[in-house]
Structure 1
């Protein structure tokens, strides 16, 4: 029986982060969980393509826009399950076991990991706690937390929209809180933007962007302001 999981990673000039992301997938390869890794790249100008191909991943070049890149990945994927993962996210060692359990026990649910920032700053712990509470209370995990979803459920909710920003919010809202589970493993994501902009400032900026989206501001308009 073929391995069930297609891992899909959208990239843009991700050469610095991608190697560690790919390395963290090894437990899934060793256990026979991963069928393929697909890197959907928006014509990076660094070494992203070379890194992806050297790792044995399937490399796809597509137009810029994370929604569009993720759609391209699913169109190429052969697995019965998808794991969408950001290139600057590293999964904790136990992730493959937790995903296998989810696929066996909760086939009608999507899943997301627990958020962790790769920083020793105490403000990182404050933000993680806040983000994980929000994710559970509202059923709105960040894209940084990854998204595990069966092909059947993905098709049922209409897949990712072709938008430049908020594609992660749109698909988990379509899935709904009652069909979303949280996996007991960590998605350890980069803290570079928070360290650059300030933890609280960046957190409130992101919250304000989400609030504006929920109030009806278009993803394209928000994408033009996002850095």
Structure 2
């Protein structure tokens, strides 16, 4: 049903945290496959991906990952982002009812303060992006990464919560 796509570079620990949050949805059958698009890591990102059973694409464009995805829906995440309990139900409900893109709700403890939300900038993928494969194929241009795809897309907010990747 859903293919998860994560772009990485030297993110072995962050990737492990993100993959751990996907296990329950994989067992439920929501997550069909996970594709890691690596951009020149020199750590053990490839080993983490292999141990988790992910497809590992090295130095390939995002479009190749989208084409290889087995799910009809794609979930783009940053390495280090963690989806909290209940996210899979929120994603499944969205997929069954609505055709457009969606983002997860920032967990209460990780929401920026009001002024930071109003005047600050958010990374385009900080809340994840769930969209149909058809939509992604239509919007992706050569050389685009997941952040380029997510930038400026109007998306519905899901009730499922996410803890964004830390920006250390």
Scaled by the length of structure 1, what TM-score is found?
A: 0.65
Structure showing greater Rg? 1
Change (3 A) 1:169 1:58: closer
Where in structure 2 are there 5+ consecutive unaligned residues? none
Question: How far apart, CA to CA, are the structure 1 residues paired with 2:101 and 2:80?
Answer: 21
Superposition CA RMSD, Å: 2.9
The aligned counterpart of 1:84 is 76
For the Cα contact (< 8 Å) 2:7–2:146, is it kept in 1? no
Matched residue count: 168
Q: Given the alignment of the two structures, is residue 190 of structure 1 paired with residue 157 of structure 2, yes or no?
A: no
Q: Write 1 or 2 for the structure with the bigger share of helix.
A: 1
Question: How far apart, CA to CA, are the structure 2 residues paired with 1:5 and 1:129?
Answer: 32
Identify the match of residue 11 of structure 2 among 8, 11, 14. Answer: 14
Q: CA offsets, 1:158-194, max 9 Å, x none? A: 225524695045461xxxx3xx21111222123343x
Question: How far apart, CA to CA, are the structure 1 residues paired with 2:131 and 2:40?
Answer: 26
Where in structure 1 are there 5+ consecutive unaligned residues? 194-227
The aligned counterpart of 1:115 is 106
The aligned counterpart of 1:199 is none
* Structure with more relative contact order (C-alpha pairs < 8 Å, separation 6 or more): 2
Question: How far apart, CA to CA, are the structure 1 residues paired with 2:46 and 2:144?
Answer: 23
